[in-house]
Structure 1
Amino acid sequence: MLQIGDGIHCFSVVFVVVLLGTRSAVCSTVVTASLYVFLLMFRYPQVPSGRVRQVLRPSKAVQSGGVSLVAHRGGGHDAPENTLAAIREAGENGATGVELDLEFSADGVPLLMHDETVDRTTNGSGLLSKLRFSELSELDASAKHRLREKFRGERIPTLQEAVEECIKLQLTIYFDVKGHPDESASALKEMYDKHPVLYNTSIVCSFEPKVIYKMRQVDPEVVTALTHRPWSLSRLGDGTPRFSSLWKHHWMQALDVLLDWAHHHLLWNLCGVSAFLVQKNFISPDYVQYWAERGVEVVGWTINTAVEKQYYQELLKISYITDSLREDCEPHY
């Protein structure tokens, strides 16, 4: 059950903001009380901590000091991202798990792909939403990779193929869902029904709270996480502004502040997440402690240098996502 103290800061801020806007103590009280009742009625409880630990700190992680090493997109520096080859390379290179991106073809086949188009990673061109899987299966997913000669002919895998490969290699799966809440929840639920072992070996993650909330609606036993990068609405992954228009940039910055507050004080509670996947520049010992007090584990991304990895393993003692298990590299945005 939601305890009043859990969200005292959240409710206090809501009360003050509404009070300043309406100048009515009664209105502020009603709005704040309504928010509390809403959370009480519609929030999902966190998955039991024992099972969360199985997922986020599996027995394989003992070799790395109890910290999970998760290959980003399967390890996009070491092999073509989001392919079976990447999953196999990650297993061979000592990864505890893999982060994989879920998308859909025009005919509704769940598959692995990070972008909305195939242009960046394959020898094809066009929107995923316009290409049938029969067309996608003909593309070379290694065409733009630095090691394309080694992995020539690697195909775009289906979700089913990727899941079976991970289970075979005993790798934890971080399902990164970009959108399509209903379709994604349905496709993942089918995987969990076919492979119950996933309840102890996978986690569903997304930047979009509605995706996670839908997943908890479909199956409240699934371990979930919110993914967050402060200033993600106004800036790209490398820090450059998304918009050239000054007014639009400042407007999105204001929304970024609101989103950041909501993630840390409201949305995580509503969705009942077990982990928070956060961009590395914003993680500190105090930040890890903040979430630990709420029963939420922090996972950092994208940790790509030996110095960073040592910091995460020895000082922060939290799991991290990396583009390479072999060498230092630039982050893949």
Structure 2
Amino acid sequence: MKSPCTRLSSCWCCSGPAALVWTTALTVSLYLFVAIFRFPQVPTSRTRQVLHPHKGTVGSGKVSVVAHRGGGHDAPENTIIAIREASKNGATGVELDLEFSADGVPILMHDETVDRTTNGSGPLSQMTLSELVNLDAAAKHRLSDKFAGEKIPTLEEAVEECIKLQLTIYFDVKGHPDEAAAALKLLYKKHPVLYNCSIVCSFEPKVIYRMRQSDPEVITALTHRPWSLSRLGDGASRFSSPWKHSWMTLLDLVLDWAHHHVLWKLCGISAFLIQKNFVSPEYVQYWAERGVEVVAWTVNTQVEKDYYQELLQVNYITDSLVEDCDPHY
């Protein structure tokens, strides 16, 4: 009688040639899936119009400077006053975070709760728009006295302000793929100018794929930070357990490979938003060969800004248009 090991080694699926066939079949299936279900990239001419508009006084002309959350260091993040301050300070565009109130109204908010930025407390999922607009969105800001009473804006209000100021909009969608795609589709239908002055971004590939399904004419980008599952932005481990850290590190490798080899093509993205520490001339060239532009985040010192503007010549997202500020992860 054969031992378990002998029986296992004689199994067809474990033998050398069969394993090669199995691996090849999986690889071919993956690429066939991508070929069948992928979305084509938006024409390069329109992508360049969005990512490299002429407006803006901070950049060198070719490089666009985008205010992170509207420029959260210079004014209360994700507010109308932040958008106005960013424009006044020479930003080319603004990055804005899309969330939803309990009654389904699209609003600007980064977190799932209002605690960090306002004088209120609680999750967005339990607060209606009428409750949210009564909060002070400047309450926790370093310049709270100057901007006291600033309100949480709806997505519609923010978009109208950006259009008026001729700012490019980077819509950062945190989740809610179906709701976000539906809300943005209506917004693009109401304001067709957005097709030539905005881009939809997300860490979640499902969000971007759903957006392309909803409206394939919208320019999109994937956002990524390598090692985000296993490590915090400053490099420290997320987990005290060595086993869990090792497992998440392995998943990080898979996720990074997927972003660079499968997901970008499946979604048909036009840009790749990457944490600044991972950008190099070679990295920019890698994406350029694929028709994808690199945007770096979050670039918060003048030395870094000079590097991205003069040497790399790629767009960057910053928390401040007027001074150096702490790193943001």
* Same topology, TM > 0.5: yes
Residues 197-234 of structure 1 deviation map (CA, whole Å, 9 limit, x = unaligned):
00000000000000000000000000000000001111
Residues 133-174 of structure 1 deviation map (CA, whole Å, 9 limit, x = unaligned):
111111000000000000000000000000000000000000
Q: Give the 3-state SS of the residue equivalent to 2:55 in structure 1.
A: helix
Q: 1:104 aligns with which of 97, 100, 106?
A: 100
- Distance in 2 between residues matched to 1:19 and 1:322, nearest whole Å: 52
* Most deviating of 238-247 and 161-170: 238-247
- Distance in 2 between residues matched to 1:33 and 1:136, nearest whole Å: 50
Q: 1:259 aligns with which of 247, 255, 258?
A: 255
Residues 222-264 of structure 1 deviation map (CA, whole Å, 9 limit, x = unaligned):
0000000001111222322222222111111110011001000
Q: Counterparts in 2 of 1:95-174, with a 5 A limit?
A: 95-174=91-170
Offset of residue 130 of structure 1:
1.1
Alignment match, 1:50:
45
Asked if the contact 1:71–1:325 (Cα under 8 Å) also holds between the matched residues in 2, the reply is: yes
- Distance in 2 between residues matched to 1:216 and 1:165, nearest whole Å: 25
Q: 1:35 aligns with which of 22, 26, 30?
A: 30
* Most deviating of 189-198 and 34-43: 34-43
What is the root-mean-square deviation of aligned Cα atoms in Å? 1.6
Alignment match, 1:244:
240
TM-score, length of structure 1 as denominator length: 0.92
Offset of residue 24 of structure 1:
2.7
- Distance in 2 between residues matched to 1:186 and 1:29, nearest whole Å: 38
Asked if the contact 1:103–1:178 (Cα under 8 Å) also holds between the matched residues in 2, the reply is: yes
- Distance in 2 between residues matched to 1:329 and 1:183, nearest whole Å: 34
Residue identity opposite 1:117 in structure 2: T
* Most deviating of 26-35 and 312-321: 26-35
Establish whether residue 213 from structure 1 lines up as the match of residue 209 from structure 2: yes
Residues 71-98 of structure 1 deviation map (CA, whole Å, 9 limit, x = unaligned):
0000000000000000000000000000
Q: Counterparts in 2 of 1:272-311, with a 5 A limit?
A: 272-311=268-307
Residue identity opposite 2:36 in structure 1: M
- Distance in 2 between residues matched to 1:312 and 1:149, nearest whole Å: 34
- Distance in 1 between residues matched to 2:70 and 2:234, nearest whole Å: 21
Residue identity opposite 1:182 in structure 2: D
Offset of residue 32 of structure 1:
2.0
Gaps of 5+ in 1: 1-17
Asked if the contact 1:76–1:332 (Cα under 8 Å) also holds between the matched residues in 2, the reply is: no
- Distance in 1 between residues matched to 2:23 and 2:246, nearest whole Å: 28
Gaps of 5+ in 2: 1-12
Alignment match, 2:71:
75
- Distance in 2 between residues matched to 1:265 and 1:61, nearest whole Å: 34
Asked if the contact 1:61–1:67 (Cα under 8 Å) also holds between the matched residues in 2, the reply is: no
* Most deviating of 100-109 and 34-43: 34-43
Distance 1:47 1:61, change over 3 A: farther
TM-score, length of structure 2 as denominator length: 0.93
Alignment match, 1:201:
197
- Distance in 2 between residues matched to 1:19 and 1:229, nearest whole Å: 36
- Distance in 2 between residues matched to 1:208 and 1:73, nearest whole Å: 18
Sequence identity of aligned pairs in percent? 76
Alignment match, 1:331:
327
For the pair shown, which has the larger CA radius of gyration, 1 or 2?
A: 2
Residues 44-99 of structure 1 deviation map (CA, whole Å, 9 limit, x = unaligned):
00000000000000122586231000000000000000000000000000000000
